[in-house]
Every structure is written in structure tokens, then in C-alpha cells.
Amino acid sequence: MNFREEYNKKLALVENALEKIIERYSSCPLTIYKAVKYSLFAGGKRIRPILLLTAHEMVGGNTEESMELACGLEMIHTYSLVHDDLPAMDDDDMRRGMPTTHKVFGEGIAVLAGDSLLNMAYEVFLDNSLRHPGNLRNHIKAVSVIAAAAGVNGMIGGQVVDLEMEGKPAQPEILDYIHTHKTGALIEASLKAGIVLENTEQKAQEAIAEYGRKLGLAFQIVDDILDVVGDEDSMGKKPKRDEGRKKLTYTAVYGLEKSQRIAEELIEQAVSQLDYFGDKANFLKEIAYYILKRRM
């Protein structure tokens, strides 16, 4: 099975699991149910849950135990996108080639859809943890990793600084803070959460965390590049939005060519961390190079 086939197989498993989870909430008010479903199934490559599942499998775990953890992680990521698109944040009308949630359902329902996805995620985490009493401690550790990454010292903190820096002079150290927290934190957490579900040694946890840190930063740098050189058809949203909002990006600070070189170097550094795991990490290596190319 080649990389694309394996990726699509994992993607199908995640989609199926997400559909089953959302069906549990079908008795809630119809408008919010529709808004949540619209947000969660508006496309996307499900990179974060696939990273979590792959990391867990790499250290001997099974998909049955980690799937709902992976789905909850994707629900947190989706909530962040719904809120990120709001007029008070990035004010985006399109995402993945479709109108954003607030354009379809209105701002109030979009806020509540994001809130719902976040709350649903923690319901899923807790229910899944209780189904594995023999490994409850590790499940709590995994959820704690994700919660920290999604909070004020992770994704939310990065978003705060991103908003505060709009239109202000470029500061490279602050740029790295934004990218490693707003985007990178949840990518790193997806890998760490998958690892800590099993009783892995500290060196393995350190290696996967460093891989995740480098990968997460590279991911956002590639996003910055695509915002400059991409087109609306391939991106599913209007390009050059960051430039228009005077956001702090790698391309604004370093230019296109240097940004590309930095992304390539980060991917190589990330991949080198996987040597610890040998051939078991081959799929994670392929994902890293895919993120660099971001075409699928």
C-alpha cells in the first residue's frame, strides 16, 4: 500500500467515526445540529487525527482505543476554525471552497457551533477514557496534553498574539510564538497524545514531541507561502488575505524564497527525529514531506 492509499484508508476511518459521534447529538435543536455538522464535514484532510492514530499505532497501540481521542482532537481543531473565521477574528467568507459557518448560519449560531464542538470533544474524551479503565491513567494524560495545547498557553494564546500583532512592526521572535502556538501546538499534541496512550519511555516522547514542533511550524510556514502564491480554486479561499490584514507571517518577514528554505529545513529536522523509531515511522516521514508539498 502506497502513502496515498494508506492515508485515504485512515481518512475514511476517521470520517466514519466522526459521523457516528455526531449522530449521538441528533436530538439537540436542529439548527445547532446542522451548524455543527456543516462545520465538521466541510472538507479537510484530517491531518491531526491521522497523526494521532499513526503515532499510537507506531508504539503498539490499536485504532479502536485511540479513534475517539483522534476525533475529539479534530472537533477541537474545527471549533477553532469556526471561531477564527468570524468577523471579530480573521473575517473569512470562504473555507475549503465553501461559505464559512457564520456566512451560512449567522454569527451567533457560528459561535455556538464552535462552543458545541469544543464541549462535544471533551464529552467524547471522557466517555472514551471510561471505556478503557485498565488504561485510564494514560488516557487522562493524553487528554491533558490536548487540553493544554488548545488553551491559553497553546492555540488560544497564539491567536491572541496574532490578533494583537496585526499592523504592527515585524518581530521574528513573536512570529515564531504565534506559529508554534496557534497552529503548531495542536499538531505537536496530536503526536504526543498518541504516544502517551501507551507506556512509552521518555526518549520516545521527546523524539515525537520534537518531530511535532518542527512539523507544526513548517505546516504554518507553508500556509503563509500558499497565501501568497496559491489560487482560490486550489486553496478553497481567497489568497493574500494575510497581506490585506497586515498579519505577521513568514513571507512578510523573510520573503518567499527564504520561507521555503526554512520550511524545507524544518521538515528535514523533523524527519531526523523519527530515526529513533526505525521503519515504524515511515508513514510519519511521508506525512512530513506531504505537508511540505501540500498537494493531494
The pLDDT tens digits for 144-197 are 999 999 999 999 999 999 999 988 888 999 999 999 999 999 999 999 999 999
Please report the pLDDT score of residue 27 as a whole number.
98
Work out whether the CA dihedral 87, 46, 181, 117 comes out positive or negative: positive
Q: How confident is the model at residue 96 (pLDDT cuts 50, 70, 90)?
A: confident
At 41 the pLDDT is: 98
What mean pLDDT value characterizes the chain?
95
Contact by Cβ (8 Å): 56, 66:
yes
- Is residue 290 classed exposed, middle or buried when 0-12, 13-18 and 19+ CB atoms within 10 A define those classes? middle
Q: What is the pLDDT of residue 170?
A: 84
Residue 296: pLDDT band (50, 70, 90) is very low
C-alpha cell at 81: 476554525
Burial of 88: CB neighbours in 10 Å, binned 0-12, 13-18, 19+: exposed
Residue among 220, 152, 137 nearest 180 (CA): 220
Give per-residue burial for 272-289: e unless 16+ CB within 10 Å, then b: ebbebbeeebebbbbbbe
> Could you tell me how far CA 231 lies from the centroid of its own chain?
22
Say how far apart CA 17 and CA 262 lie, in whole Å. Answer: 36
pLDDT-derived band at 245 (thresholds 50, 70, 90) equals confident
Distance of alpha carbon 93 from alpha carbon 123, whole angstroms: 30
Evaluate if residue 235 carries a pLDDT over 60. no
Q: How many Å apart are CA 254 and CA 221, to the nearest integer?
A: 11
And the C-alpha cell for 58? Answer: 507506531
Nearest-angstrom CA–CA distance, 3 and 11: 12
In this structure, is the dihedral angle defined by the CA atoms of residues 231, 154, 277 and 15, taken in order, positive or negative?
Answer: negative
C-beta of residue 77 within 8 angstroms of C-beta of residue 184: no
- 177 Cβ neighbours under 8 A, 6+ residues apart: 158, 161
Q: How far apart are CA 196 and CA 202, in angstroms?
A: 10
Q: Which residue has the cell 493544554?
A: 148
pLDDT single digits (tens) 119-150: 999 999 999 999 999 999 999 999 999 999 99
Q: Which amino acid is at 153?
A: N
Question: Domains in the chain, please, with CATH?
Answer: 3-293 (1.10.600.10)
Kindly report, residue by residue over 248-285, the tens digit of the pLDDT.
999 999 999 999 999 999 999 999 999 999 999 999 99
Residues of the chain with pLDDT > 70, as a percent, come to 95
Length of the chain (residues): 296
Q: Tell me the percentage of the chain whose pLDDT exceeds 90.
A: 88
Which residues are CB-neighbours of 222 under 8 A, at least 6 positions away?
263, 291, 292, 294
From the list 271, 276, 223, the residue with the least C-alpha distance to 250 is: 223
